[in-house]
Structure 1
Amino acid sequence: MKNRLIMLEGLPGTGKSTNSFKLYEQLILGGKKVRWIHEVSQPHPVLFFTESCMTKEEYRDFKKKYPEVAALLDEVAEVRETTVGIDQETVGRRAQDAKEQAWYQELLKYDAFPTSLDRYEFRALEKWAAFARNAAKDEDTIFILDSSFFQYQIFTYLLKAASYERLEEFVSKIAECIEPLNPLLIYLYREHTEDSIAFMKEQRGEQALVSTWERDKGEPYYQSKQKDVTAFYDFLKDYAKSAESLFETLKFDKRKIEISANNWKAYEDEMLGLLEIPRIEIPAYKAQEGTFVNAEHGLSFAIKDNVMKDPEGVQRHLSPKSQDEFFVEGIPTILKFFEEDSTRLLGQQIIPQWTETGTVYTREKNEE
């Protein structure tokens, strides 16, 4: 395939993760090696969610101060050119009672956010450059990246009330980093931003939008805005304008897909056509049923008729990859059943603990 990096962007609620999943599924069924980096993959190779970021000197000093966790930190650290990233959630899970320890509390003081834009740009470009270098070495893998190239950057810059020109300059530097991967950008949009806002209200509930506004209302962008959720609607309109302008500046492969009709199969076909790959029919296999438990973490999920009710109560369709492996709808997780009553999680971990790669769940005996 020509494009080693496929990026899906658009306003919240435009189907970035949904369509990333479909591409992930189809590419793997077609025999490709694929890594889908979900918006909330953990640790995330280009974004900052739960990362503590130190200089290399700070990292050395930290390990000297807390030698009891030095080996653990080295195990999870992402070492870049001048900085080191430590995912807080990962180390918190691997060390017993970590969040009560002095070393963990000090680690939190190095949280990558909040920070100035100058510092963010420096750290973020190091992450993008490291990702691009590592991806270039993995020549057989196709990478899918959603909500990272536009969404995270636009949110960051708009909330800081930074100029569009500064945003465009930064995005152009990211584009330079990833150019060797022959990226393809797919931008999903509705003709009217108001339609996307209405869709989000319908699908997520207005309270979800209110919660986002309440989370961010202290940021510079909102200081001259109305003091209710309608300010977030204005934010989304400004987001759309920025994204449209950024799209026009890009020199690599790109395509806009208008999704107002919600004809998702047609959009999938268009994306597959862009990649010049045929649609593969999903094989007809049925997943093992019952309640599957991981006693160590106190987590469980239930499966019936190829539908999983995950540990957070979300229902996710399971689509077969093979007789023993099943894609989990909407996330880069694959269930691999083995023996008669166990399943191991493969793929890419996201923030919820239950998705940790390699975790084994065993079916409760009374449900055999």
Structure 2
Amino acid sequence: MELILIEGLPGSGKSAMAEKICEAAQVSGINSSWYLEESKVHPVHPADFKHDRHDKNYPERCLKQWAKFVSEKNHQDRLFIIEGSLFQSTVRLMLEGKNKELIADYYSECQLILSSVHPKLIYLRPIDARTHIEWTMEHRGEEWTSKVAEYLEKTPYCSEQQWQGEKCMVSFWSEYVQLCDSLISQTSMTYHTINAGYGNFESQFNKAMSHVNSEKWLSTALYRKETKCTHFLI
């Protein structure tokens, strides 16, 4: 088993990156699977898993899911590409639920669980988070912006701050990226921070491939004739 984790703000290119890496691995002869964050068959955070996302016991439940994933998949000769699970589907929800004090211990324990499979982390980091969020809202349109803003407004954290509308979007995601930055500074796994988002989409894939590519990919391609890139989109 090989594992690549991809993190970044909305609109930073996580899904596009995951798909391109999966396809590149296939070309190199590696069986691979990648999962969208919202996939119903997600191996770590299936659709029905987040119903208690703001509870104090959510970090413990996430750790159990990570341990189960590693236990079940570790023996497989396959590359797994997972986007948004290390931060966005976990620590972001802890921030929303006013459980920020639980994040450090959670992340430390999560890294211990994952250490046995030696994951590689790609962190897609816009140079200026605020400008990127504003660009994403314009690029994805009013419907997406309103939907996400309405969700965030109702979370315990944003509700306490009395953030509304676009201010809620900019304020929350700016704080979230600072949280991600702090976790990256504490990361023990192999990681690479890449300037991402508008103006960087063309270059960020090549930078990511220089980080995740390995001799195993190249050598395996010489011996394996049939490969498959499996996408889990729903």
1 CA distance for matches of 2:28 and 2:137? 36
- What displacement does 1:206 show? 3.2
Q: Is the 8 A contact 2:125 2:193 kept in 1?
A: yes
Counterpart pick for 2:60 among 122, 145, 148: 122
Which residue in the other structure is 1:37 paired with? 35
Does residue 1:207 correspond to 2:143, yes or no?
yes
What is the correspondence of 1:48-63 to structure 2 with a 5 Å cutoff?
48-51=46-49
Indicate the SS of the match to 2:80.
Answer: strand
**TM-score, normalised relative to structure 1:** 0.56
What is the correspondence of 1:175-214 to structure 2 with a 5 Å cutoff?
175-214=111-150
Please identify the structure whose Cα radius of gyration is greater. 1
Offset from partner CA, 1:202-247 (integer Å, 9 cap, x none): 3201331221121232221122323333112100011010000000
Counterpart pick for 1:162 among 84, 96, 99: 99
1 CA distance for matches of 2:212 and 2:197? 22
Offset from partner CA, 1:76-126 (integer Å, 9 cap, x none): xxxxxxxxxxxxxxxxxxxxxxxxxxxxxxxxxxxx513653332232211
Greater relative contact order (CA < 8 Å, ≥ 6 in sequence):
2
- What displacement does 1:349 show? 3.4
The verdict on how the C-alpha distance between 1:201 and 1:141 changes in structure 2, with shifts beyond 3 A counting, is: same
- What displacement does 1:49 show? 2.3
Counterpart pick for 1:217 among 134, 137, 153: 153
Matched pairs, number: 224
Q: Any runs of at least 4 consecutive aligned residues in structure 1 with deviations exceeding 6 A, and if so which?
A: none
- Which consecutive residues of structure 2, in runs of 5 or more, have no partner in the other structure? 219-226
Which residue in the other structure is 1:262 paired with? 199
Does residue 1:171 correspond to 2:107, yes or no?
yes
- What displacement does 1:48 show? 4.2
Which residue in the other structure is 1:151 paired with? 88
Which residue in the other structure is 1:102 paired with? none
- What displacement does 1:15 show? 0.3
What is the correspondence of 1:1-368 to structure 2 with a 5 Å cutoff?
4-51=2-49, 113-114=51-52, 117-138=55-76, 140-163=77-100, 165-223=101-159, 224-259=161-196, 262-276=199-213, 347-351=230-234
Structure with a larger share of its residues in helix: 2
Indicate the SS of the match to 1:50.
Answer: helix
Which residue in the other structure is 2:223 paired with? none
Offset from partner CA, 1:238-290 (integer Å, 9 cap, x none): 10100000001011101100125624342222222123359x9xxxxxxxxxx
The verdict on how the C-alpha distance between 1:220 and 1:30 changes in structure 2, with shifts beyond 3 A counting, is: same
The verdict on how the C-alpha distance between 1:15 and 1:127 changes in structure 2, with shifts beyond 3 A counting, is: same
Q: Is the 8 A contact 1:41 1:348 kept in 2?
A: no
Offset from partner CA, 1:156-181 (integer Å, 9 cap, x none): 11111122x42121122111111111
